Amino acid sequence: MQLTSKLPSVGTTIFTTMSALAAEKGAINLSQGFPDFKPDARLLEAASNALLNGSNQYSPMTGLLDLREAIAQLIHRHYQRTVDPLDDITVTSGASEAIFDAIAALVQVGDEVILFDPAYDLYEPAITLAGGVCRRAVLTAPDFHPDWQAVGELITDKTRMVLINTPHNPTGSCWRNEDLESLWQIIKDHNIMVLSDEVYEFIHFIESAVSVHKHEGLRQRSLVVSSFGKSFHLTGWKVGYVVAPKALSTELRKVHQYVTFCTTTPLQKALSDYLIQAPEACDALAAFYRDKRDLLRNGLKDSRFTLLPCEGTYFQLLDYSAISDEDDVTFCKRLIDEVGVAAIPISVFYQTPPVGQRLIRLCFAKEDITLKDATERLSHI
Ligand SMILES: Cc1ncc(COP(=O)(O)O)c(C=O)c1O
């Protein structure tokens, strides 16, 4: 039998590799992006009640109505946008499924999709599997803001989608209103939609951070993707959702209904019970993570690393060029061995990593004690 891979250049992700190495060597794991602390006890209790009290069968394909109504309230609370829970909201098995469904449903063979370099690693394989072609616009350190003229130059009559992500993984940069407006000016006279990955929507540290939910023009032709994993410290639950106008939601649902049909029912029930009880649940998330970011940054201020700006997400970039001229993968492996801290080399997020760039990513969604221990170790290299 001859097997032809549809994704020949995809191997085991660096997250799996670094987490496995960290576990093997007993290193502090600041590589993969997940919290090492517990979610709100009320959520765990709601999940346990849902399991014990019978929410164990298929739920409606688009998500439990109570949850979709609670999501509509959440969107109204944070963005003053009114969305229809019936037509505009679809609950998915994590943001990952939402992104895959959106691309599978809306990108046709030969369509071009503009994304940014660096970008979250899921986007490119999803576009390739759909037969689409990726066109990358470069984001340059240290602030990683888009060069809108360069983005405009990538538009052709085959461009069908722009895939954006703010707050941005892996760089921690956040877009401003000017960025959304520039994007709108570029696409408004073309048949181009936007897939906006906003999984870190509530984790930003600047007043001027923005969401597509708040842009009148863009939101009419965008799918906005969110993740309860990021907002409620529940990455293992894999529950997310997409908000999009009816025409886009209808197409997305055609794929969603055959990929998973529905997302784990008791977890949806727990999330809706919790959101009804605690509609303010996301209000303090930014302050919570700002303290952790500052703890990490203060702990490293006398180290030989240079700290890049961190406006959002729970990731901090460090420049290690004063310490070593090794490539970032080699440096991260040595950090695990010699310092006992696991980080992520950011070259893995690039199609074309900039020559000579020496950056690693640390996740600060960790207990304060873990962060103190890690910064102590990192200050000695
Ligand atoms: C930018 C970005 N998008 C999407 C995801 C996937 O989210 P989920 O775990 O809800 O599938 C992640 C997870 O790390 C992410 O960082």
Judge whether 303 and 379 are in contact, CB under 8 Å: yes
Domain count, the chain: 2
pLDDT tens track, the chain, 381 positions: 999 999 998 888 888 888 899 999 999 999 988 999 999 999 999 999 999 998 899 999 999 999 999 999 999 999 999 999 999 999 999 999 999 999 999 999 999 999 999 999 999 999 999 999 999 999 999 999 999 999 999 999 999 999 999 999 999 999 999 999 999 999 999 999 999 999 999 999 998 889 999 999 999 999 999 999 999 999 999 999 999 999 999 999 999 999 999 999 999 999 999 999 999 999 999 999 999 999 999 999 999 999 999 999 999 999 999 999 999 999 999 999 999 999 999 999 999 999 999 999 999 999 999 999 999 999 998
Ligand 1 and 95: CB distance under 6 A = yes
Does 137 share its domain with 225?
yes
Which residues contact residue 86 at a Cβ distance below 8 angstroms, ignoring those fewer than 6 apart?
Answer: 62, 65, 68
Ligand 1 atom showing the smallest separation from residue 165 Cα? 1
CA 343 to ligand 1 center in whole angstroms: 17
Q: Is 314 a pocket residue for ligand 1 (Cβ < 6 Å)?
A: no
In a domain? residue 9: no
Regarding whether 209 and 101 lie in a shared domain, the answer is yes
Q: How far is the CA of 306 from the centre of ligand 1 (A)?
A: 26
| CB of residue 32 inside a 6 A radius of ligand 1 | no
* Alpha helices, H only, 11-87: 14-25, 41-52, 65-79
CA 231 to chain centre: 11
Q: Ligand 1 centroid vs 241 CA: distance in angstroms?
A: 12
Is ligand 1 within 6 A of the CB of residue 96? yes
CA of 96 to the centre of ligand 1 (A): 6
Same domain, 219 and 255: yes
Domain range enclosing 95? 57-277
- The answer to whether residue 39 is domain-embedded is no
Please give the Cα distance from 43 to 49 (Å, whole number). 10
Last residue of a domain, one of 277, 296, 328: 277
Looking at the structure, tell me whether residues 240 and 288 fall in a common domain: no
| 3-state SS assignment for residue 184 | helix
Minimum-distance ligand 1 atom for the alpha carbon of 197: 3
Q: Ligand 1 pocket, 240 CB below 6 A?
A: yes
Atom of ligand 1 nearest to the CA of 99: 4
CB of 196 sitting under 6 A from ligand 1:
no
> Last residue of a domain, which of 227, 258, 277?
277
Helix (H) or strand (E) holding 370: helix 368-378
- How far, in Å, is the centroid of ligand 1 from the Cα of 95? 6
Pocket test for ligand 1, best of 174, 227, 231, 364 (most atoms within 8 A of CB): 227
Residue 93 lies in a domain: yes
Q: Is 227 in the pocket of ligand 1 (CB under 6 A)?
A: yes
Residues 155 and 219 in one domain: yes
Sequential DSSP letters for 47-63:
HHHHHHTT--S---TT-
Identify the three-state secondary structure at position 133: strand
Check which CATH number belongs to the domain holding 312 and give it: 3.90.1150.10
